[in-house]
Structure 1
Amino acid sequence: MDELSQQKVPFFFMVDFVVENVLIYTENELKENSLLIDFQNYTNTNHQQEEKSNIQLKSFPESKEDYQKGFDIVQQNLKLGNSYLTNYTCKTKIEINLSLEEIFYLSKAKYKVLYKDEFVFFSPETFVEIIDNQIFTHPMKGTIDAAKENAIEVLKNDVKEKAEHYTVVDLLRNDLSMVADEVKVNEFQRIDFLKTNKKNLYAMSSEISGKLKPEFQNKIGSIMKSLLPAGSILGAPKPKTLEIILEAEKYDRGFYTGVCGWFDGKNLDSCVIIRFIEKESGKLYFKSGGGITHLSTFADEYQEMKNKIYVPIH
């Protein structure tokens, strides 16, 4: 990645959650591989899918008892001070009357990728953007059902959601400081509206920026190596929290909660791989979860994990 970015060669990359699998494709290689991308400023598809009505999505979440086992491991570690924010996720079997390809074309999201007939995701969350050697990140933490009364005020003032958001902003400010100087928070607790087929959500984001240090300029690989795994879907502090996640979760995240990005030869746009549906032995699974702090309640977290099982088709 460093080599390609120094040569100003455009490429697309995907890195899995534990930073073990890295896939890199130049523009020509994208054509040869069945990989569809639809980002804000780059797409390799112009196919128009006919709208479908009567989309049926059924989910079969794990039982409260099973969820509780992992939740308790996370809570014990939070109480011991081993972590102060842990992103705990689950894998839920789903049934939907659409193919992965139809989900890709019909869903509305800032970032969409279809990887062969293996997985599709429709992510609303930017990881980092690099524009003229300025680096930006937009941590998204905290969601609420938009139908709730005074939803925006409730979200902004919710003690648990606020603690989670402050923690991630602080973590990512520190992370950016490894690769950039003059790091600052430009926008704090911005509220975005997410439209889904089930219920509409409000999500809370902030923007942090800095000026890339000279030794990181035109080195996309070195930047990613320093910043991954992404703090917003891991927690803090990173190394210990990763251990807790690997103990608490009963499945392999794979590319879910990894990152992917498009480098156009000069600038980079990348996203966190969330809102993720994977095909395994002919069955479909939706991976979802949320950040847990010592203020989290079991019922709320279990509900949030289920709320995030949706497709943004409307």
Structure 2
Amino acid sequence: MNEELKNILNKNGSLNEPFFFCISYDLSKFFVKPLKELPPDIKYSINEKVSSKIAKKHRIIKEPISYEEYKKRFDFIQEHIKAGNSYLLNLTSQTKIDPKLSLDEIYEKSRAKFKLKFFDDFVCFSPEKFIEIKKNKIYTHPMKGTIDSKIPNAEAMILGDKKEMAEHTMVVDLLRNDLGIVAKKIRVDKFRYIEKINAGEKKLLQVSSKISGHLEENWNEKIGDILTSILPAGSITGCPKKKTVEILKNCENYERDFYTGVFGVYENKTLNSAVMIRFIEKNKDGEFFYKSGGGITCDSDATSEFEELIDKIYLPF
């Protein structure tokens, strides 16, 4: 837990003034600022209504890691699963891309439920809500399970897939436990429903669930405690969380940094936030890297998971 981050968030929430926050995957980096002081080179959009219709195809040049390298990491994870150290791990990687666009252009063109352009460092266009708090209730909507909508009977196929069912159930259970740390009366309001996502050249079906819990009336004074207690997000780590994070650190061979962290806004006694997936980073040399990944279980197939990692590299225009 990052005590400095916790205290800053608690202080801002106690003031009951609107503020923005952006937190890295491992909580080591963060940016918290009142909305009235937010720099113009930070742009965001939260809970936008987005059509799943693809307006225009935009191809990007991708240079992913080799299948052989991915397979080494996949096999490393499978050994830990067999040893009983973890049973679900979200393996990610970075892919060098040439989008032919600036981060500003990508942000403006992208259509996504949650969008963020953070200085000239990165842009994300995430479909995944992290937590929402309103009327003293906390909600989370874990996403786990993706399929190309063009596949015949795609919805029935993914909802009936035993491997996908097991993986999603594990994440829902993990998120129920996470909310139980900070809230009471935890319940799964909706289990495994389908959302349509515009994924550049494809339309994807994504499986989500809705979980809720009750908070005390003064929850805004404890925003720091709430966020630092349940981060990093369960959907982008795995189960059990602590050991899985350790395994992934020894396996991924790159820094996630702000990728798979969270960003959000508090205002009017309401908090909205998103997991920073669908993420493009610009390094100091002006090179662009797309970070993506997927959940691995004992039933996962390396070839399919590698293809999913590459499929998730898209621009939602």
Name which of 81, 93, 96 aligns with 1:93. 96
Alignment of 1:1-314 (within 5 A): 1-30=9-38, 32-40=39-47, 55-213=58-216, 216=219, 218-280=221-283, 281-313=285-317
Opposite residue 157 of structure 1, the aligned amino acid is: G
Q: Matches of 1:173 and 1:150 in 2, distance apart?
A: 30
Opposite residue 14 of structure 1, the aligned amino acid is: C
Deviates more, 1:63-72 or 1:133-142: 63-72
Deviation at 1:56, TM superposition (A): 3.0
Deviation at 1:55, TM superposition (A): 3.0
Q: Assess if the C-alpha contact under 8 Å between 2:57 and 2:200 holds in 1.
A: no
Q: Matches of 2:194 and 2:293 in 1, distance apart?
A: 20
Q: TM-score, normalised by structure 2?
A: 0.92
Deviation at 1:170, TM superposition (A): 0.3
Q: Matches of 2:131 and 2:239 in 1, distance apart?
A: 18
- 1:95-123: CA deviation from partner (whole Å, max 9, x where unpaired): 11221111101111011000111100000
Deviation at 1:150, TM superposition (A): 0.2
- 1:3-27: CA deviation from partner (whole Å, max 9, x where unpaired): 1112211101011011111210111
Q: Assess if the C-alpha contact under 8 Å between 1:216 and 1:222 holds in 2.
A: no
State the identity as a percent.
Answer: 45
Deviation at 1:33, TM superposition (A): 5.0
Q: Matches of 1:263 and 1:34 in 2, distance apart?
A: 19
Opposite residue 310 of structure 1, the aligned amino acid is: Y
- 1:203-249: CA deviation from partner (whole Å, max 9, x where unpaired): 00000001014674532111001100100000010110001000110
Opposite residue 289 of structure 1, the aligned amino acid is: G
Aligned-residue CA RMSD in angstroms?
1.4
Opposite residue 35 of structure 2, the aligned amino acid is: E
- 1:73-108: CA deviation from partner (whole Å, max 9, x where unpaired): 111111111001000000001111221111101111
Q: Matches of 1:234 and 1:211 in 2, distance apart?
A: 25
Q: Assess if the C-alpha contact under 8 Å between 1:56 and 1:97 holds in 2.
A: no
Opposite residue 312 of structure 2, the aligned amino acid is: K
**Structure 1 stretches lacking a partner, 5+ long:** 42-51
Deviation at 1:62, TM superposition (A): 0.7
Deviation at 1:198, TM superposition (A): 1.3
Deviation at 1:40, TM superposition (A): 2.1
Opposite residue 28 of structure 1, the aligned amino acid is: K
- 1:8-58: CA deviation from partner (whole Å, max 9, x where unpaired): 11101011011111210111221x3510111127xxxxxxxxxx9663311
Q: Matches of 2:218 and 2:269 in 1, distance apart?
A: 16
Q: Assess if the C-alpha contact under 8 Å between 1:276 and 1:287 holds in 2.
A: yes
Opposite residue 72 of structure 2, the aligned amino acid is: K
Q: Assess if the C-alpha contact under 8 Å between 2:281 and 2:290 holds in 1.
A: yes
Q: Matches of 1:293 and 1:192 in 2, distance apart?
A: 23
Q: SS of 2:98's equivalent?
A: strand
Q: Assess if the C-alpha contact under 8 Å between 2:58 and 2:315 holds in 1.
A: no
Q: Assess if the C-alpha contact under 8 Å between 2:24 and 2:30 holds in 1.
A: yes
Q: Assess if the C-alpha contact under 8 Å between 1:133 and 1:217 holds in 2.
A: no
Deviation at 1:296, TM superposition (A): 0.4
Q: Assess if the C-alpha contact under 8 Å between 1:5 and 1:265 holds in 2.
A: no
Deviation at 1:265, TM superposition (A): 3.8
Q: Matches of 1:103 and 1:194 in 2, distance apart?
A: 17
Deviation at 1:70, TM superposition (A): 1.1
Opposite residue 303 of structure 1, the aligned amino acid is: E
